[in-house]
Structure 1
Amino acid sequence: MSYDLAVWDGERPIDDRQAGAIYDELYERYLESDDVVVPPVPRIVAYVEALLARYPDDANHSVVWASPPVIEEASGPLVYLLMSYGEAEEVSAYAAELAREQGLVCFDPQGECLRL
């Protein structure tokens, strides 16, 4: 079981509804399609690197990430974070704060809401 967050580079949506629509479009465009592989944009790479500096994603020892390596869940302006449920409260709070500090949007697809 995992807790998921989506983080993207773009303008901040005005509300949860708009954020959900943007998330759906980005997810479909960048993560659902296997036809075209789009490298993550530099701001997403920097975000993932900063996140992994605190919570490494060693595939053999990670208790935080449900699907390491995390960078493989990044495409274009979007990264989809899959966290182990037991670690989700702490890690998601840090991930959301880091996104805010870096001027990125953080969205909770389960709750269909922005993470502030």
Structure 2
Amino acid sequence: MSYDLAVWDGDRPLNDGQAGSTYDELFERYLESDDVVVPPVPRIVAYVEALVARYPDDEGSGVWASPPVIGEASGPMVYLLMSYGKAEEVSEYASALAREHGLVCFDPQAERLRP
């Protein structure tokens, strides 16, 4: 079981509904399709590097449900799959870090933007 967050590079949506639509579009375009592999954009790479510097994505860490984290990145988006036991702590940090990097953080379970 995991707790998921989506982080992307782009303008911050005006509300949760607009964020949900953007999330759906980006997820379908960059993460659902196995046809085309799109390398993550530099801002996403920098974000993931900063995130795993704090929460390493090795198999024994117990933080990530699907390591390596960069493997869940494509184009302007990364999909974070956190182990449920660590989700509260890690999601708070991931959300704050996204903001520091000028990225959008969206909670697909709650269908809302993270501050």
Interval containing the TM-score (normalised by the shorter chain): over 0.9
Match of 1:74 in 2: 73
- Residue 62 of structure 1 and its aligned partner are, at CA, apart by 2.0
Cα distance between partner residues in 2 of 1:92 and 1:68: 16
Unaligned runs of 5+ in 2: none
Match of 2:27 in 1: 27
Which whole-Å deviations, capped at 9, do the CAs of 1:51-80 have from their partners, x for residues lacking one?
000000012x12100000000000000000
Report the secondary structure of 2:61's partner residue.
Answer: coil
Spell out the pairing of 1:28-107 with structure 2 (5 A cutoff).
28-59=28-59, 61-107=60-106
Match of 1:109 in 2: 108
Cα distance between partner residues in 2 of 1:102 and 1:73: 18
Residue type of the alignment partner of 2:91:
S
Cα distance between partner residues in 1 of 2:111 and 2:9: 18
Q: TM-score, structure 2 length as denominator?
A: 0.99
Residue type of the alignment partner of 1:40:
P
Q: TM-score, structure 1 length as denominator?
A: 0.98
Identity of aligned residues (%): 82
Residue type of the alignment partner of 2:20:
G
Residue type of the alignment partner of 1:49:
E
- What RMSD, in angstroms, separates the aligned Cα atoms of the two structures? 0.4
Residue type of the alignment partner of 1:97:
A
Moved over 2 A (4+): none
| Corresponding residue pairs, total | 115
